[in-house]
Structure 1
Amino acid sequence: MKPDLHIVGAGLTGLTAAIEAAERGRRVSVAEAHSRPGGRARTPAAPYRANLGTHAIYVDGPWWAWLERRGLTPPIVEAPPHASLVRAGGRLGPWPAELSQAIAALPAEAPAAESLRAWLLRHVDARTAEAIVGVVFIFTFDHDPGRLSAAFAHQRLRRALAGGVRYVIGGWSTLVDLLAERATGLGAQLRTRTRVPAVPEGPTILATSLATARGLTGDRSLTWPSARVTTVDLGLRADGGPDWFRVLDVDDRIYAARYSLADPTLAPPGHELIQISAACAPGERKADAERRVRHLLDESWPGWRAAVQWYRSAVRTDCTGAIDLPGTTWHDRPAIGRGNDLTVATDQSAAPGLLAEVGISAAQLALQHLDEASTSTGAHVRV
């Protein structure tokens, strides 16, 4: 049957949109350029199941509630109670209790018009302010989170430390498979290895990166700041390794997590999977960022080099979600509605949320926009 809604992109956003649209009675077609759905939420096959995109899902957020209402929640696990190490001021040690106390003592609200660093310096000393700025790297991936809007950073800092972080057992593909199965079960046509050269005719949701949407539409206003980060994935023999789950380098903006401690299925028996993100300053080369990562590993895992069984690295640009600079909020990001029949739902669109939640919120707003446009033009939607 001819679809009455086209969705370009079968990542988490596109699949969520497909499910909601099918539930509303739309005939949905989803086109995905890759061989499998998932977009950035893809998990390669064994032996090391290293997620290509984000790692955490937040069970205190609106998307988790959406999944629960539909019986689509994947198996999850909390972070293990292993040590967290922090490198600050050139010294590596346990997570400092005074840092948690300083964050907890911050005011409940922060201004959008002021930078995070300037706002922090009105409440804590300079050393503590820079440590908090380094913590904010974990969920912004920015090389200097202190330059971001205080409201943007502080809201996400409170969410990140509130205890709602979980990891999907088996990697993101576990959740992607659940979403794809539900979407096709509701009648959505899911076509992989299908690269769309232009915007389809009729109601369309571009659930792609903002850069891809810009290329498809030629709309130069589809742009918003994002981070540039070098990722390093390691498969190591576990024998004789240290007992930490995560290491945060607030000096050099590096975050390393030993995800196989939370989910042993991600690595072969007797091996560990470590995934690392290192912020790239403007103009910084990948090789320089990798050098900083190796230095941190030398401090936190002596002998790691001899234990390496698998290594992968990449530079990722404009694929870590939106960042809001002082004076801006999510309302100022590119509008989701681009006319009666076209919407753009990305993690950099004008929608609220944390990390992947932004794209999910954008998908729901896109459907609302298309439904309102159909009603105003008298178009027929099957219900």
Structure 2
Amino acid sequence: MKPDLHIVGAGLTGLTAAIEAAEHGRRVTVAEAHSRPGGRARTLANPYRANLGTHAVYVDGPWWAWLERRDLTPPIVGAPRHVGLVRAGGRLGPWPAELSQAIAALPAEAPADEAFRVWLLRYVDAKTAEAIIGVAFIFTFDHDPGRLSAAFAHQRLRRALAGYVRYVTGGWSTLVDLLAERAADLGVRIRTHTRVSALPAGPTILATSLATARQLTGDQSLTWPSARVATIDLGLRADDGPDWFRVMDLDDRIYVARYSLADLTLAPPGHELIQISAACAPGERKADAERRVRHLLDESWPGWRARVQWYRSALRTDCTGALDLPGTTWHDRPAISRGDTLTVATDQSAAPGLLAEVGIAAAQLALQQLGETPRPAKALTRA
């Protein structure tokens, strides 16, 4: 039968939109270019179950509540209680207590029209300001979060340090499988290996990247700043490893996490999975970022090179969520509604939230603009 709604992209945003629309009785078809759903939330098969880039879920956010109401929450784990190492001001060591104190002493609100660095320097010295800006890399992936809107960076800093970060057991494909199964149970047709080259006829949600949406629509206004980041994944033998779970290089904007310490299913017995993000400045090559990462690992894990069993790296652009520059907020991002029957729901759309939450909020707004209204929470829970 002809669908009531076309969705392009079976990532977290597309699957969320499909489930909500099907709950309202819509016939939904989802087109996905890859061999399986997931979008950027894909996880490799064994032996090293690496996500496509580092991923975490915030269990204090609106999307987690959405999952809970539908009994769709995946198994999750928190960070293990291992030592964390931090490089700040050229020194590699434990997290400095004075940094936590400085962040806690900042005002509760920050202005949107002022750069984060400029705002910080009114309250802390230059060295502390740069360390706080380095922390902001962890959740923005940007090479210089100090240039971003103070309101944007500060709000995310507060949430990131509040202790609500969790990791999906088995990788993000665990969650994707739950969503895809629920969508199928509701009658959603997910067509994989289907690359859309023209806009479908009828109501459509583009749950893709802005670049893909721009290509499909020809709408050059579908653009917004995002980060440029190198990702490196390592599979290593686990013998005689260090005692840290993560290393945060606030000077060089690098984040290293031994995810298999939190979730043993991510690597074979006796092995570990390490995932790394390194911010890339405009024009910086992936090879240069990899060189910086190797230097950090040499210092924090002597002998790691001899343990490497598997290695992959990539340079990722325009896929890390929106970045609001001074004078802008989420309201200024590309509008979700693009006419009577077309909406664009991406991580960079005009919707609130943190990282992937923006795409989820965009999907819900897109459905409202296509004529849907939220259902009562009681009706959303699996019997």
TM-score, reference length from structure 2: 0.97
**What secondary structure does 2:106 align onto?**
coil
- Please give the alpha-carbon distance, in whole angstroms, between the structure 2 residues aligned to 1:122 and 1:335: 34
- Please give the alpha-carbon distance, in whole angstroms, between the structure 1 residues aligned to 2:364 and 2:276: 32
Match of residue 286 from structure 1: 286
- Please give the alpha-carbon distance, in whole angstroms, between the structure 2 residues aligned to 1:91 and 1:294: 17
Q: Any conservation in 1 of the 2:213–2:344 contact (CA below 8 Å)?
A: yes
Give the number of aligned pairs. 373
- Please give the alpha-carbon distance, in whole angstroms, between the structure 2 residues aligned to 1:308 and 1:347: 34
Unmatched segments (≥5 aa) in structure 2 = 374-383
Superposed CA deviations along residues 4-32 of structure 1, whole A, max 9, x for unmatched, are 10000000000000000000111100000
- Please give the alpha-carbon distance, in whole angstroms, between the structure 2 residues aligned to 1:297 and 1:244: 12
**1:219 is matched by which residue type in structure 2?**
D
- Please give the alpha-carbon distance, in whole angstroms, between the structure 1 residues aligned to 2:241 and 2:352: 40
Match of residue 332 from structure 1: 332
Runs of 4+ in 1 over 6 A off after TM superposition: none
Q: Any conservation in 2 of the 1:42–1:53 contact (CA below 8 Å)?
A: no
**What secondary structure does 2:340 align onto?**
coil
- Please give the alpha-carbon distance, in whole angstroms, between the structure 2 residues aligned to 1:264 and 1:67: 24
Pair 1:98 & 2:98 matched: yes
Match of residue 377 from structure 2: none
- Please give the alpha-carbon distance, in whole angstroms, between the structure 2 residues aligned to 1:372 and 1:10: 20
Match of residue 128 from structure 2: 128
Superposed CA deviations along residues 144-193 of structure 1, whole A, max 9, x for unmatched, are 00000000000000010111100000000000000000001001111000
Match of residue 323 from structure 2: 323
Which aligned pairs between 1:58-77 and structure 2 lie closer than 5 A? 58-77=58-77
Which aligned pairs between 1:81-230 and structure 2 lie closer than 5 A? 81-230=81-230
Superposed CA deviations along residues 110-160 of structure 1, whole A, max 9, x for unmatched, are 000000000000001110000000000000000000000000000000010
**What secondary structure does 1:183 align onto?**
helix
**What secondary structure does 1:72 align onto?**
coil
- Please give the alpha-carbon distance, in whole angstroms, between the structure 2 residues aligned to 1:255 and 1:33: 30
- Please give the alpha-carbon distance, in whole angstroms, between the structure 2 residues aligned to 1:91 and 1:106: 24
Match of residue 269 from structure 2: 269
Q: Quick one: structure 1 residues 53 and 232, their matched pair in 2 at CA, closer, same or farther if it must change by over 3 Å?
A: closer
Q: Quick one: structure 1 residues 72 and 172, their matched pair in 2 at CA, closer, same or farther if it must change by over 3 Å?
A: same
- Please give the alpha-carbon distance, in whole angstroms, between the structure 2 residues aligned to 1:247 and 1:102: 20
TM-score, reference length from structure 1: 0.97
Give how far 1:46 is off: 0.5
Q: Quick one: structure 1 residues 53 and 295, their matched pair in 2 at CA, closer, same or farther if it must change by over 3 Å?
A: closer
- Please give the alpha-carbon distance, in whole angstroms, between the structure 2 residues aligned to 1:8 and 1:301: 43
**What secondary structure does 1:371 align onto?**
coil
Give how far 1:372 is off: 6.6
**1:7 is matched by which residue type in structure 2?**
I
**What secondary structure does 1:208 align onto?**
coil
**2:342 is matched by which residue type in structure 1?**
L
Q: Any conservation in 1 of the 2:44–2:50 contact (CA below 8 Å)?
A: yes
Which aligned pairs between 1:276-315 and structure 2 lie closer than 5 A? 276-315=276-315
**2:86 is matched by which residue type in structure 1?**
V
Q: Any conservation in 2 of the 1:41–1:54 contact (CA below 8 Å)?
A: no
Give how far 1:54 is off: 4.3
Q: Quick one: structure 1 residues 54 and 9, their matched pair in 2 at CA, closer, same or farther if it must change by over 3 Å?
A: farther
**What secondary structure does 2:370 align onto?**
helix
- Please give the alpha-carbon distance, in whole angstroms, between the structure 2 residues aligned to 1:154 and 1:25: 40
**1:144 is matched by which residue type in structure 2?**
D
**2:232 is matched by which residue type in structure 1?**
V
**What secondary structure does 1:33 align onto?**
coil
**What secondary structure does 2:146 align onto?**
helix
Q: CA RMSD in A?
A: 0.9
Unmatched segments (≥5 aa) in structure 1 = 374-383
